Amino acid sequence: MTDTALQERYRGFVCDLDGVVYRGPTAVPHAVAALNNLPAAVVYATNNASRTPQEVADHLVGLGLHTGPQWVVNSSMAAADVLACELAAGATVLAIGGPGVAAALTGAGLHSVFDSDQPVAAVLQGYGTTVTAGDLAQAAYAIQRGARWVATNDDLTLPTDRGIAPGNGALVAAVAAAAGARPRVTGKPHPPLYLMSARVLDQPLERVLAIGDRLETDIAGAVTAGMDSALVLTGVHRATDAALAPPEQRPRYVLGDLRDLALPYAEPLPTDDGFRCAGTRIRVDGAQLRVDASPESPPIEAVRAGIAAIWAAADHGAGEDRLRALASQLPGAS
């Protein structure tokens, strides 16, 4: 494909939130303007199940984004949709997490409760800032009595404006230790959240681009769902992480920040001895990454070509130590 801008190649976008659009209450630099300028609809899809779509939309609008609750999909909604397909209408489900968990269950035609003193058909566990040890105990009791257990996601960490906090996966692990069981997980990297997002966009998967900052959730989820993905280097994972990613976590595109969506996308192309990305050439020489770039070439060209070269070395059997040495030489790795 020619070097057209990514925003011209797709008819819809699925955008992660934490680390891509904002960090806590603060917008990621350039994200708001870039997303508002996209010519196609954007669904904001997040594994963070603590808030309702209206609350998320209010946050996004407060940052300056042109959106509404109909364009927000969270992992609670995907999980509630799965349970609604398996349980009788109106079945009672124990809701563990923030307000978004109960709202998703109600929206799916199920009855949510907040303690397990009464029999429940299932437990839906999502992230919430006010989840207590007592809530986790209620979930463990219900699961031990035979309730189905669905978790919105198992992300161990959550990026915030203050640093990295424990995520829903850490809370799920506590319940698993007590209940002696493992949940079914419906959020990223599993397909339901992406499939629901494509339905909201009313687009086939091949015409939708997933944008995220985490390889093991955002990118792996898009790969699993059959959707193209772009890793943006403003959040959790950096170029070094992408270079060392296994095939099931490799993004189709790599962006420095969301402004790159509007620029002609220079793809890394193989050469006789390496890869070329626009004005930058890279080749692997033992444990050295040799870069030949013109002074005006942006660093992202070397990042894309370097990642492609390291993936090729990995696929040809290069050892882990060599791959890590090569990845450490990518721009911005130190």
Respond yes or no: is residue 18 known to be catalytic. yes
> Cα separation of 237 and 73, whole Å?
23
| Residues in contact with 189: Cβ distance below 8 Å, sequence separation at least 6, in sequence order | 216, 217, 218, 219, 220, 221, 223, 224
**b or e along 121-146 (b: 16 or more beta carbons within 10 Å of the residue's beta carbon)?**
bbbbbbbbeebeeebbebbbbbbeee
CA angle 22, 25, 27 (to 5 degrees): 35
The answer to whether 125 and 168 are in contact (CB under 8 A) is: yes
The answer to whether 113 and 135 are in contact (CB under 8 A) is: no
Q: Of 3, 16, 285, 315, which is the active-site residue?
A: 16
Helix (H, G, I), strand (E, B) or coil at 293: strand
Query: Per the structure block, which two tokens stand in for 12?
Result: 């819809």
Q: Of 3, 18, 58, 228, which is the active-site residue?
A: 18
Dihedral sign from CA coordinates of 177, 183, 188, 189: positive
| Residues in contact with 273: Cβ distance below 8 Å, sequence separation at least 6, in sequence order | 283
| Residues in contact with 121: Cβ distance below 8 Å, sequence separation at least 6, in sequence order | 87, 88, 91, 92, 93, 147, 148
The answer to whether 303 and 251 are in contact (CB under 8 A) is: no
280-285: strand order across its sheet: 269-270, 275-277, 280-285, 288-293
Catalytic annotation, residues = 16, 18
